[in-house]
């Protein structure tokens, strides 16, 4: 859980591999009923793959801490409050949801952040909850693991998962801010 002084992206992600999940907000309908509980239940599967599950939402740290307590996330999923939306904006995921009375929020997204480098990313459209479901993410990770452990690890490769194409390219050096 994140409490106290704000942390930089380097403090959050340097030297570690994370499954970073962006959600519109703590205690919102889908996030609260399905999204976070699914990742809490399957946290061990991410950790077995060397990924620390981390959720980020445009909420303050006290709200994120309370949300984590309700779902028993402690020791399973780290919750990061992005109160000003700075990280979410820098990732290109900030969206204006004022029409729903929610102000600026994060799009639903899941990504692997490997030592500050985003190496895999999926983003749901605003009206869907498909690619970032825990089951979809784990299915995609299985495919990505197959790609990264193949003999052609330095060449571009891809796999189609029921309309979702997963592409593995040579490692990019695009960094999170």
pLDDT in tens, 28-65: 888 888 899 999 999 999 999 899 999 999 999 999 99
- Is 145 annotated as catalytic? no
In the DSSP assignment, the letter for residue 90 is H
- Rounded-to-integer distance, Cα 46 and Cα 53, Å: 7
What does pTM read for this prediction? 0.80
d(CA 34, CA 43): 14
Cα–Cα distance, 49 to 6 (Å, whole number): 28
Query: For residue 55, which of 70, 35, 69 has the smallest C-alpha distance?
Result: 35
In three-state secondary structure terms, 70 is helix
Among 18, 31, 127, 145, the active-site one is 31
């Amino acid at each position: 859980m994140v409490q106290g002084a704000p942390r930089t992206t380097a403090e959050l992600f340097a030297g570690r591999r994370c499954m970073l999940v962006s959600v519109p907000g703590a205690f919102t309908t889908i996030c609260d009923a399905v999204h976070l509980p699914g990742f809490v239940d399957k946290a061990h599967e991410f950790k077995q793959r060397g990924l620390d599950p981390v959720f980020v939402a445009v909420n303050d740290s006290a709200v994120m801490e309370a949300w984590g307590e309700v779902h028993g996330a402690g020791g399973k999923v780290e919750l990061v409050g992005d109160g000003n939306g700075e990280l979410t904006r820098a990732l290109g995921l900030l969206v204006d949801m004022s029409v729903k009375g929610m102000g600026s929020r994060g799009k639903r997204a899941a990504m692997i952040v490997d030592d500050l480098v985003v190496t895999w990313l999926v983003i749901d459209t605003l009206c869907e909850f498909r690619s970032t479901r825990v089951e979809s993410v784990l299915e995609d990770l299985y495919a990505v693991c197959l790609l990264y452990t193949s003999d052609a690890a330095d060449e571009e490769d891809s796999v189609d998962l029921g309309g979702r194409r997963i592409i593995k390219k040579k490692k990019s050096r695009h960094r999170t801010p």
